[in-house]
């Protein structure tokens, strides 16, 4: 039995079967009064936005919370000490809270903590030694914080870490190299960081990495040579980098790739042909890409492709016929491209489509005619 104050609600309670991380959280009710949680279930509290104090946690009773989200509340360092009243806590969300480095010392009592989100909080390098003492952490998010190379070096002690989000932090090559001992990492987000080509050498020491985001990092063709042997990769985001067609040769052996984002890159046919070995590729994003005429014809070898985004790219009417070889394609985004009514008839052969986005400039009569040809496809103009 969980015991909360009867006069106010601390927030909402969610539950999911214990041990089933893939299961969605479902609503249990308000965190108010006496609440009976179902047996063998984890309980998560989503704090009310106006929650002013965590002192009521001391009265929880013999049962315990397994997760607490304080995201976007006004709770500061002074309140974090009360979390010690919840020793079974596994998940803690402190996104966008007004906490600082000095407050993180209070987390030391949470020996069972497995997931911690500090995104957007006022923390930096000085607070990372306290985080590094949470030996059971498996998932850590630090996006949009002031953490840099010094803080990253402290995090190298988290040997069980499987997911690490460093998006929009101050980490550079030295910091990433300090993390090369995190061999359990399966997902790493380095988007919009100071990482450059040299730092990617650290990835060779992460054999279990399946998800990697380098969006908007200062990465070029030379850096991709470090991905050559990372055959476990399944999702890769290179959007907004300096990578070109030549660099894609380093991806040719990544045969387990399921999702690839090459948005805003300049690519030719030869570059896209280098993806032909990705027989399991499910999703390809080329939004905003500058594509050489005829380049899209190279995608015909991607028999497993289900989703293709060309939004805001320079694809022209004459290029669409080359997509007809994608017999399993279900989602195609052509929004905000130069496609006109003249190119629409080339889409009629794509019978597998279920969702299609066309530019607003395509006349309604052309859209309606295509709907008649593809009755099982939801077509929008945006």
Instruction: Give the mean pLDDT of 189-210.
Output: 96
Compute the CA torsion angle 142, 240, 258, 155 (nearest 10 deg).
-20
Q: Lowest-pLDDT range, 95-99, 192-196, 216-220, 227-231?
A: 227-231
Total Cβ atoms within 10 A of residue 102: 13
- Percent of the chain at pLDDT > 70 equals 99
325-378: per-residue pLDDT in tens?
A: 999 999 999 999 999 999 999 999 999 999 999 999 999 999 999 999 999 999
CA distances from 368 to 136, 357, 365 (A): 56, 13, 5
Q: Which residues touch 255 (CB under 8 Å, ≥6 apart)?
A: 231, 277, 278, 279, 280
Position 64 scores a pLDDT of: 81
Angle of CA points 8, 62, 40, to nearest 5°: 100
Position 280 scores a pLDDT of: 97
What is residue 364's three-state secondary structure? helix
51-75: per-residue pLDDT in tens?
A: 999 999 988 866 689 999 999 999 9
Position 60 scores a pLDDT of: 83
Report all structural domains of the chain as residue ranges with CATH numbers, in order of start: 245-382 (3.80.10.10)
Residues 245, 291: Cα–Cα separation, whole Å: 10
Residues 99, 360: Cα–Cα separation, whole Å: 45
Instruction: Give the mean pLDDT of 282-310.
Output: 96
For the cut 90, the answer to whether the pLDDT of residue 21 exceeds it is no
Total Cβ atoms within 10 A of residue 351: 12
Instruction: Give the mean pLDDT of 126-142.
Output: 98
Residues 121, 107: Cα–Cα separation, whole Å: 15
Residues 283 and 260 sit within 8 Å (Cβ to Cβ): yes
Instruction: Give just the sign of the alpha carbon dihedral 283, 289, 293, 295.
Output: negative
Residues 262 and 284 sit within 8 Å (Cβ to Cβ): yes
Position 192 scores a pLDDT of: 98
Residues 274, 269: Cα–Cα separation, whole Å: 9
235-251: per-residue pLDDT in tens?
A: 999 999 999 999 999 99
Residues 185, 163: Cα–Cα separation, whole Å: 6
Position 62 scores a pLDDT of: 60
Position 58 scores a pLDDT of: 86
- pLDDT bucket at 22, cuts 50 / 70 / 90: confident
- pLDDT bucket at 208, cuts 50 / 70 / 90: very high
Total Cβ atoms within 10 A of residue 27: 10
For the cut 90, the answer to whether the pLDDT of residue 133 exceeds it is yes
Residues 40 and 64 sit within 8 Å (Cβ to Cβ): no
For the cut 70, the answer to whether the pLDDT of residue 169 exceeds it is yes
- pTM summary value: 0.95
Total Cβ atoms within 10 A of residue 369: 14
Position 322 scores a pLDDT of: 86
The three state secondary structure string of 92-106 is: EECCCCCCEHHHHHH
């Amino acid at each position: 039995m969980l015991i909360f104050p009867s006069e106010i609600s601390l927030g909402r309670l969610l539950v999911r079967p214990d041990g089933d991380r893939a299961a969605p959280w479902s609503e249990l009710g308000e965190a108010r009064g006496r609440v009976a949680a179902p047996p063998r279930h984890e309980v998560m509290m989503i704090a009310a936005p106006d929650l002013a104090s965590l002192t009521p946690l001391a009265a929880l009773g013999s049962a315990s919370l397994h997760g607490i989200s304080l995201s976007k509340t006004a709770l500061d360092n002074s309140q974090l000490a009360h979390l010690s009243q919840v020793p079974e806590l596994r998940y803690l969300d402190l996104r966008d809270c007004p906490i600082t480095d000095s407050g993180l010392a209070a987390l030391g009592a949470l020996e069972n903590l497995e997931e911690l989100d500090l995104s957007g909080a006022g923390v930096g390098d000085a607070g990372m030694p306290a985080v590094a003492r949470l030996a059971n952490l498996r998932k850590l998010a630090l996006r949009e914080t002031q953490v840099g190379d010094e803080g990253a070096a402290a995090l190298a002690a988290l040997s069980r870490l499987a997911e690490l989000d460093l998006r929009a932090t101050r980490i550079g090559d030295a910091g990433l190299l300090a993390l090369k001992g995190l061999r359990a990492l399966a997902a790493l987000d380095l988007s919009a960081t100071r990482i450059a080509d040299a730092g990617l050498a650290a990835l060779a020491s992460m054999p279990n990495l399946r998800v990697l985001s380098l969006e908007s990092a200062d990465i070029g063709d030379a850096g991709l040579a470090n991905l050559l042997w990372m055959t476990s990769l399944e999702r890769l985001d290179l959007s907004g980098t300096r990578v070109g067609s030549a660099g894609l040769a380093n991806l040719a052996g990544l045969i387990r790739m399921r999702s690839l984002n090459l948005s805003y890159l300049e690519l030719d046919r030869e570059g896209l042909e280098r993806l032909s070995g990705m027989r399991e590729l499910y999703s390809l994003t080329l939004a905003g890409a500058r594509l050489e005429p005829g380049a899209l014809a190279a995608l015909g070898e991607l028999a497993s492709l289900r989703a293709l985004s060309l939004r805001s790219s320079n694809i022209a009417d004459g290029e669409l016929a080359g997509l007809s070889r994608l017999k399993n394609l279900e989602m195609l985004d052509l929004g905000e491209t130069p496609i006109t009514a003249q190119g629409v008839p080339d889409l009629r052969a794509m019978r597998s489509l279920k969702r299609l986005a066309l530019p607003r400039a395509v006349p309604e009569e052309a859209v309606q005619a295509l709907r008649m040809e593809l009755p099982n496809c939801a077509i929008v103009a945006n």
